[in-house]
Structure 1
Amino acid sequence: MDLASLPVEVLDEILSLVDGEDLAHVAQTCRSLYNCVNNEGLWRRLVRRHFDVESAEPYSGFHEMYSSLHQHNWLGHSLWYGDKPQFGSLVLSRYDPHSGTMELHEILCQHGPSRSRTLNGNRTVAIEQFAPRIGCAEFPVARLGPDAHYDDPRSLCFFNHDRALHTCIMRVQAMRGDRVHPSMALWPPLTLPAKDRMRSGRSSSPYPSYPYSPTGSRPGSRPSSRPSSRPGSQPGSRSHSPTGTGGSPTLSPAPSGPSSPRGRDLRDLGRDYFSRYRSVDSTTDGFRLRKWVSFSQSSMFGVAMGESVETFSRLDQRLIAPTPDMPWRGLWLGDYHDNGGQFVMFHQPNPTRLEAIKLTGDVHVPRGEYTFIVEDIKHKVPISYPEWPGAPVVQAHYQVAETNYINPRYLESQLILVSDDCVVHYRLGRELVTYLYRVDVDKLLEGAPGWRPLVVDM
């Protein structure tokens, strides 16, 4: 029995599980299967799967929309963190239904009004409360539409008129696991768990990671042993999947099939996909953004100033999704006093260990470094604070350093587990208490421009 002889309902159910390029190859086999694939219902399911939208506007249909944006759907609806020196950045990739393009928007944080009070019974300890607001920047940092092709760098450039800023997105290759070495300038660094690691756009890492040691050994000495649960300590990474460069995917009609009313609607998806789209061996979990300022709208004329290249890695949502055994996993926003709010990834490599890793950083402890580590989050310290009645307290160690990440070291601290969405960090060495709040990733991925408070009640 072949596919064409199956009942239409069964065949439609089978084809609904097939991705776009495979549908194109199915359509090339015979007229009967071509007519089955040339079905807006199938392409509507694909659009929902990849772009999470219900309407094909501004395109004439779901097939045209998928064909026009297929080469960009590797971006998906995701968060990405970058290796900007010291500070890093967090961006959101999403489909914009108004322009019909894939866009990258920077995620920003406003510290908001703050209140300071002292810890009960100890007036030398300051409690810093803050009401942060997070938002998606109104103007995109990059935009990819039907005319953007990875074999034509000019088509990948985007010009922000208000900031006179040019940006160009570039695909990158993942490092093979057997070639990864701690001395390399990698992004993400080995402190952050990741499926793929890329060579950073910088020739060398100006801020080599300082390994955590419970004994608090200084950088000049070698720790007696590395922590067994150091994330990403094994150099292995998944093999990079072939993806790449090429043109918009379209269906190839059966040899005697009807011609398309549009010039690109039903033409040569399979041939185009294999000859162009896979012509560069790139990872789907990373990219680079080249930025420069020019007061000429054309990228070919004028003087380019302040050129920079930033490498981005996808923030795997499975690593920040809490589970019953690892409830503290997630994306958090912490108060770093004079350095403002910073995004922190709470990573639990096992049910007892908690590693807080900066996705955005500052001039003291940069992005990609540990901000604090809890060796055993299930071991409660017999201490209570009236400000947070009943909240368990665990022992932690936090990292401090001088400007430009000089002389990093770990000091003792306490983590007060106020609720599933709020923890308090008591830095014993600095007599400072700060808050960290969980970020609702689903709401963040909605990507609506504007500001919204992270904490409603203060």
Structure 2
Amino acid sequence: MIAVQYDQRKGAIEGYQILAIRARDGSEPWLADAEVHVHHFEPKVKLHRDKPVVELKPTGQMFRKGKHMRSLSFGNTIRGLEHLLQEPVLNFDANLLFSDPRCSEVILARPLPPVLANGRMAGGFPYGYVWPPVAVPASHRVLGEAPGVLPISNHRLMPISSGDYYTPPPPSEASDQAFKVRRWMEPGGSVMGVRLGEETVTFSTLNPYLYTPTKERPYRGIWVGDYSGHGCEFLLVHQPDSESGDDHPLERSDDESDEDYEKRFLREKVYKGRLEAIKLTGDPNVPRGEHTFIAEDLGEGGFIGNSDGPPFDGCRVVKSRGHIAAMGFRNGKSDDCTAWRDGLLTAAVDKFMESQLILISNDRLAQYWVGFGHISFFERVDIDKLVGS
């Protein structure tokens, strides 16, 4: 996951990877049930500013020295490569031959027609390599690439496309919400003509509407969660708007106190509807783009009670379903207990298990994975603070 911003000093658009680490490890028994372990979670989130994933400059094409990558930042890759091949080799800075061999180029993406996108996604994971995947709301989607690294290729040859939607479009037809980055290694500089470890990664933006909290949808946002041995992972916590059209303002009666109005507001406007946590980064068990947990109803339909005792004293607890899978995710949605042995998954299927969502605050949640006997935390990422850091 990257955060992209315009650097006024450089006149460049730069995208940096968002990283998170745990400042504290370990767990302690839950006072309410000594067999349940509460995992410590104090995440530190920052941008990896040592090297941008994306760097676009007004010149459109640049060859940087030293630790920076060579970046071909134009939309029409074919035309750009022709221009590159017409450059006399002697015009290159000799230092480039011994500089950082990591290279990349940005490629425009073409929006898929809804019928084609829906048809490809209907088959389940990996959803026909459509990006963003079906769980992430988007006004349109593009065709991504199969994951993996090509061991060797020649940058003088373009890959043969299997359809127009793989071909970089002209700017007038390009998506304004998605793009691709092709990355590779060039030992000895570009004069060798060989790319090693080439891969293409598709990126799409998130509509700010999805991660901007409101009074009625206070949990919307980008969050970071604790995934034990997998480390920290980023999530989109999505609270869909009501489909019944009952999102009208709550009127306050003349004789209603501030405290009574606040309680009624929470009951009628906040604690209602569905909450979905969608992975923006994933792991070998449950990949990015998949739900990690779902609470069907934050209101009375899913209400379990208020927690009694630390560290969740007084917190609202609702029913949820946690997504789990073995290595080698295949979107099985299987409830077949033969895939389980001694409480562990023994086949590459996935399922939703019983869990409970603990609403600690608008910026911190906890998930009780009932079958696993542990509680993990999730914390909101302050995007504005992160980008401004």
Q: With structure 2 as the length reference, what TM-score do the two structures score?
A: 0.68
| Residue 339 of structure 1 pairs with residue 266 of structure 2 | no
In the alignment, which of 425, 436, 453 is matched to residue 378 of structure 2?
436
Equivalent residue runs for 1:31-110 within 5 Å: 90-110=1-21
Distance 1:370 1:244, change over 3 A: same
Partner Cα separation in structure 2 for residue 170 and residue 334 of structure 1: 31
- Equivalent positions of 1:180-195 (< 5 A) are 180=117, 181=119, 182-183=122-123, 184-195=128-139
The match for 1:385 is 308
Contact in 1 for aligned 2:18/2:48 (Cα 8 Å): yes
The separation in 1 between residues aligned to 2:193 and 2:230, in whole angstroms, is 36
Deviation at 1:111, TM superposition (A): 2.1
Q: Secondary structure at the match of 1:382?
A: strand
Give the structure 1 partner of residue 29 of structure 2.
Answer: 118
Aligned to 2:80: 153
Partner residue, 2:286: 365
Work out which of the residue numbers 195, 204, 216 in structure 2 matches 1:325: 216
- Kindly state the Cα deviation for residue 97 of structure 1 after the two structures are TM-superposed: 3.1
The SS at the match of 2:305 is coil
Q: Distance in 1 between matches of 2:15 and 2:212?
A: 23
Q: Compared with structure 1, are the counterparts of its residues 365 and 383 closer, same or farther at alpha carbon in structure 2 (3 Å cutoff)?
A: same
Question: How far apart in 2 are the matches of 1:162 and 1:444?
Answer: 30
User: Could you say which residue in structure 2 is the equivalent of 1:296?
Assistant: 188
Q: In the alignment, what sits opposite 1:164?
A: 101
Verify: 1:397 aligned to 2:321, yes or no. yes
State the number of aligned residues.
285
Taking a change above 3 Å as real, the CA distance of residues 121 and 374 of structure 1, as seen in their structure-2 partners, is closer
Q: 1:333–1:437: 8 Å Cα contact kept in structure 2?
A: yes
For residue 302 of structure 1, report the CA deviation from its aligned partner: 5.0
In structure 2, list runs of 5 or more residues that go unmatched. Answer: 61-73, 85-95, 149-167, 242-271, 330-347
Q: Can you list the C-alpha shifts for 1:84-123, whole angstroms capped at 9, x where unaligned?
A: xxxxxx1111122343211121111112222411100422
C-alpha distance in 1, partners of 2:45/2:372? 27
- 1:140 corresponds, among 37, 52, 59, to 52
CA distance in structure 2 between the partners assigned to 1:385 and 1:164 by the alignment: 57
Q: In 2 relative to 1, CA 109–302 (structure 1 residues): closer, same or farther, beyond 3 Å?
A: farther
User: Which string of whole-angstrom CA distances, capped at 9 and with x for unpartnered residues, describes residues 364-423 of structure 1?
Assistant: 000000000001011321252311111110010001000011210010111111111001
2:123 pairs with 1:179: no
Cα deviation 1:171-208 (Å, max 9, x = unaligned): 0001011222123321111111011111121299xxxx
Contact 1:295 1:302 in 2 (8 A): no
Letter of the 1:368 partner, please give it. G
Q: Which has the higher mean CA deviation after the structures are superposed, 161-170 or 187-196? A: 161-170
Which has the higher mean CA deviation after the structures are superposed, 346-355 or 360-369?
A: 346-355
Question: SS of 1:102's equivalent?
Answer: strand
**Distance across 2 between alignment mates of 1:118 and 1:198:** 46
Higher RCO, 1 vs 2 (CA within 8 Å, ≥6 residues apart): 1
SS in 1 for 2:115: helix
AA of the residue aligned to 1:385: D
1:284 to 159, 176, 181: 176
Runs of 5+ in structure 1 lacking a partner?
Answer: 1-89, 205-242, 246-276, 449-458
Alpha-carbon offset, residue 167 of structure 1: 1.1
Correspondence 1:224-303 to 2 at 5 A? 278=172, 281-298=173-190, 300-301=191-192, 303=194
CA drift of 1:129 comes to 1.1
Partner Cα separation in structure 1 for residue 222 and residue 99 of structure 2: 31
For the residues of structure 2 that align with 1:414 and 1:337, how far apart are their CA atoms?
18
CA gap of 1:163–1:386, structure 2 versus 1, over 3 A, is farther
CA shift, 1:322, in A, is 1.3
What is the SS of the residue equivalent to 1:192?
coil
Which residue matches 1:452?
none
Contact in 2 for aligned 1:296/1:302 (Cα 8 Å): no
Contact 1:331 1:346 in 2 (8 A): yes
CA deviation profile, 1:223-274 (whole Å, cap 9, x unmatched): xxxxxxxxxxxxxxxxxxxx975xxxxxxxxxxxxxxxxxxxxxxxxxxxxx
Task: Provide the secondary structure at the position in 2 that maps to 1:318.
Answer: helix
Mapped partners of 1:310, 1:408: distance in 2: 25
Alpha-carbon distance in structure 2 between the residues aligned to 1:374 and 1:307: 40
User: Partners of 2:349 and 2:358 in 1: how far apart?
Assistant: 27
Describe the SS at the equivalent of 2:229. Answer: helix
Is the 1:114–1:129 contact (alpha carbons within 8 Å) kept by the matching residues of 2? yes
CA contact (8 A) 2:224 2:234 kept: yes
The residue number in structure 1 matching 2:362 is 420
What is the deviation of 1:162? 7.6
For 1:367 and 1:186, the matched residues in 2 are separated by 13
Residues 1:111 and 1:313: Cα distance change in structure 2 (over 3 Å):
same
CA distance in 2, matches of 1:108, 1:306: 23
Q: Deviations over 1:270-298 (max 9, x none)?
A: xxxxxxx53xx111000001011222343
Q: CA deviation at 1:163?
A: 5.7
Give the Å deviation of 1:168: 0.8
Q: Percent identity between the aligned chains?
A: 31
Which structure has the highest strand share of the two? 2
Please provide the CA RMSD for this pair.
2.5
1:56-100 alpha-carbon deviations (Å, 9 max, x no partner) = xxxxxxxxxxxxxxxxxxxxxxxxxxxxxxxxxx11111223432
Residue 348 of structure 1 aligns with an amino acid whose one-letter code is Q
Does the 8 Å CA contact 1:333/1:343 hold for their aligned counterparts? yes
How far apart, in 1, do the equivalents of 2:115 and 2:185 lie? 38
Q: CA deviation at 1:327?
A: 1.6
TM-score relative to the length of structure 1:
0.58
